[in-house]
Amino acid sequence: MGVTDAAIEKIKEMIICGELRPGDRLPKEADLARRLGLSRNSLREAVRALTLVRILDVRQGDGTYVSSLESDVLLEAVSFVIDVHEDRSVLHLLEARRVLEAATAALAAQHITDAELAELERLLGEMTRSESVEQLVEADLAFHRTVAVASRNPVLASLLDSLAGRTTRARVWRGITQGGAQERTIADHRGIFEALARHQPDLARAMATVHIAGVEAWLELALDGDRAVP
């Protein structure tokens, strides 16, 4: 189990055993990290993950609270968990993205302009400077949209925009829970950018394929882990 996953489990245990109840405020970060034997960074990542699925509620300037845990509040979280861990349709969407992204990148390598390359480089800078997984994924989406437009095929661009939006939550969850995922994401995009800048279609196709395949591999492991017998 990864460090962030372990931190998530420890906070969940506090809620399940009743030590933290709906509406309760979590202890100060430093105190809770020390008590749970976690680094503050690991605790922070766990809080972000649990906030994403509506278990915790971070109130700026006030603190972090356990949500009401009522069914209507958790409905979106339940949908999220199904999407990422049980419903293989997300994996099917990623498979489709892998095929389309590869073809789109190859076309973009032939048609991309200097202005579009400059925009991609700017977005790479945003990814590197991102202070959260959500910011990185936002720049990631913009990067792929720019590549799609550069393919000069509006049908491909429209299809990819639809598919990318439906896999966003899985990508955010991966960035939070998988160690090194953010660094790999940036490196993948840098490789795609360099292939496009060199106007090498075959290389661009390969780099795009590797990038999406990495997300697929993570999701496959998550699904296999859910099915594993202890």
Superfamily of domain 81-227: GntR ligand-binding domain-like (1.20.120.530)
- What's the predicted TM-score (pTM) here? 0.64
| pLDDT more than 70, % of the chain | 78
Q: Are 135 and 172 in contact (CB under 8 A)?
A: no
Distances in Å between the alpha carbon of 125 and those of 66, 128, 163, 189, 190? 35, 5, 24, 11, 10
12-21, 57-66, 97-106 — which one is most confidently predicted on average? 97-106
Q: Kindly indicate the confidence band of residue 15, based on its pLDDT and cuts at 50, 70 and 90.
A: confident
| Domain boundaries, given as residue ranges, for the chain | 3-69, 81-227
Helix (H) or strand (E) holding 64: strand 63-66
- Span 75-129, pLDDT tens digits: 454 444 444 444 566 777 788 889 999 999 999 999 999 999 999 999 999 999 9
Q: What topology does CATH give the domain 3-69?
A: Arc Repressor Mutant, subunit A (1.10.10)
Q: Kindly indicate the confidence band of residue 20, based on its pLDDT and cuts at 50, 70 and 90.
A: confident
